[in-house]
């Protein structure tokens, strides 16, 4: 029995619903039941900075989504997947004389994060301070003032507050925002504002592997609701992955899923390429086995540049001649890779428990590292580049999702997306029957 099958059995034992045929058969939280209920409720979602990750989860639940997306390739992907894009630029919904509106009770947003990626030092810290100051000054109340902030600093710094500006105007019943962990102080400051508006708010860090995603991706999340019910963190369906003790599993949930579980690898590992200076300072780092969760996958996961991944091993796929997998197109699922004389692992600068001497290696039986916009630098075994399909699978996308654009643009969409399974858990927490009523 595979780990996926074991996880499904365990999930069924715990009365966690399984969604067949969606997100590669991974266990999802109550989605099958939710689809009919949410459709009957007439829930509509405004999805700012939409991409496609939230859209996949919303479609699975029968929720109509009005997406706002500026990237042409992402819009093409949305069109191909049957997703509705109502306009392209979030400022169009705030600044025009006749603002474009979309009636909704759920607002979703994954604003740009680049200006905060180095929060705590240098420009990232300054950007964070700018946003926190703007919240204190109430810039979200006046879109023109908010846009001026972007002109004075970095447009992305202002964009992170456009969801709050939309809430100030529209007052949706439900809110869900997510971004990289350094954005958490922004969400906490926004939470104080939302509470003054009458919302119950939860903010914190969610770990993707705890929601059936075969990847150790951490995200800062804000969940808010104005229906008299207390906002709460979604209930995990899977164990947390403990980097220093991979055999440790949380009780009363299914095991975490590994790279091998979803990519069909038996025993393999991939290594993440490092720059010469990093090798000189720290030496070669161990990888991560395919039986572990993946690291964060960036939009440049398919090359040999520093930051990319390589598969390390010397075996060929079952039933294939050596070299057959060097040019496997990204339009077909990844083939099974076996190993007899050695294991395989994924090398990365992520997910090493803070130990620089071991930075970046996981075996096939572990989760992948976080998938980011640089995922096209990844290579399996230095022989074949990681395909967009594989990166999408590690993000919990359906196998046949129609990503548009060049390989680089596809990886950019995949790496920047919220994993659909994690998005689904957030939606279910917001829209499922109430657990506790706010006094």
Alpha carbon 315 to chain centroid distance?
31
**Positive or negative: CA dihedral 9, 244, 222, 157:** negative
Q: Return the closest-CA partner of residue 240 out of 270, 212, 274, 264.
A: 212
Residues 13, 251: Cα–Cα separation, whole Å: 12
> Would you please indicate which residues are annotated as catalytic (active-site) residues?
113
The three state secondary structure string of the chain is: CCHHHHHHHHHHHCCCCCCCCCHHHCCCCCHHHHHHHHHHHCCEEEEECCCCHHHHHHHHCCCEEEEECCCHHHHHHHHHCCCEEEECCCCHHHHCCCCCCCCCCEEEECCCCHHHCCCCCHHHHHHHHHHHHHHHHCHHHCHHHHHHHHHHCCHHHHHCCHHHHHHHHHCCCEEEEEECHHHHHHHHHHHHHHHHCCCEEEEEEEEHHHHCCCEECEEEEEEEECCCECCCCCCCCECCCCCCCCCCCCCCCECCCCHHHHHCCCCCEEEECCCHHHHHHHCCCCCEEEECCEEECCECEECCCCCCEEEECCCCCCCCCCCHHHHCCCCCCCCCCCCCCCCCEEECCCCCCCCHHHCCEEEEECCEEECCCECEECEECCCEECCHHHHHHHCCCCCCCCCCCCHHHHHHHHHHCCCHHHHHHHHHHHHCCCCCECC
Q: What is the C-alpha separation between 112 and 180, in angstroms, rounded?
A: 9
d(CA 185, CA 79): 35
């Amino acid at each position: 029995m595979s780990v996926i099958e074991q996880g499904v059995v365990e999930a069924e034992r715990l009365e966690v619903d399984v969604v067949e045929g969606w997100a590669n058969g991974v266990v999802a939280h109550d989605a099958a039941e939710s689809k009919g209920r949410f459709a009957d409720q007439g829930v509509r979602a405004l999805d700012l900075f939409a991409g496609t990750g939230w859209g996949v989860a919303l479609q699975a639940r029968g929720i109509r989504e009005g997406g706002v997306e500026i990237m042409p390739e992402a819009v093409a992907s949305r069109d191909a997947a049957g997703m509705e894009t109502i306009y392209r630029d979030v400022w169009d919904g705030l600044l025009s004389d006749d603002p474009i509106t979309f009636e909704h009770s759920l607002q979703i947003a994954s604003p740009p994060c680049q200006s905060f990626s180095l929060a705590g030092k240098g420009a990232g810290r300054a950007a964070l301070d700018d946003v926190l100051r703007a919240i204190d000054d109430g810039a979200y109340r006046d879109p023109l003032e908010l846009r001026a902030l972007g002109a004075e600093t970095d447009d992305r710094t202002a964009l992170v507050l456009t969801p709050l500006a939309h809430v100030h105007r529209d007052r949706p019943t439900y809110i869900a925002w997510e971004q990289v962990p350094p954005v958490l102080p922004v969400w906490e400051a926004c939470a104080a504002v939302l509470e003054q508006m009458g919302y119950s708010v939860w903010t914190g860090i969610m770990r993707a592997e705890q929601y059936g995603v075969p990847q150790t991706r951490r995200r800062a999340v804000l969940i808010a609701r104005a229906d008299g019910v207390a906002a709460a963190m979604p209930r995990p369906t899977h164990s947390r992955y403990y980097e220093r003790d991979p055999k440790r599993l949380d009780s009363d949930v299914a095991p975490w899923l590994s790279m091998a579980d979803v990519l069909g690898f038996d025993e393999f590992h991939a290594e993440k390429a490092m720059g010469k200076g990093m090798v000189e300072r720290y030496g070669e780092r161990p990888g991560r086995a395919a039986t572990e969760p993946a690291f964060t996958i960036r939009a440049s996961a398919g090359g040999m540049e520093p930051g990319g991944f390589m598969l390390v091993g010397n075996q060929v796929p079952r039933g294939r001649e050596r070299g057959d997998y060097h040019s496997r197109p990204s339009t077909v699922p990844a083939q099974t890779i076996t190993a007899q004389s050695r294991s395989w692992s994924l090398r990365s600068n992520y997910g090493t428990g803070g130990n620089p001497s071991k930075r970046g290696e996981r075996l096939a039986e572990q989760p992948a590292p976080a998938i980011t916009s640089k995922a096209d630098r990844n290579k399996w075994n230095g022989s074949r580049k990681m395909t967009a399909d594989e990166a999408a699978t590690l993000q919990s996308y359906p196998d046949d999702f129609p990503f548009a654009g060049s390989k680089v643009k596809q990886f950019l969409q995949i790496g920047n997306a919220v994993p659909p399974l994690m998005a689904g858990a957030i939606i279910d927490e917001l829209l499922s029957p109430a657990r506790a009523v706010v006094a």
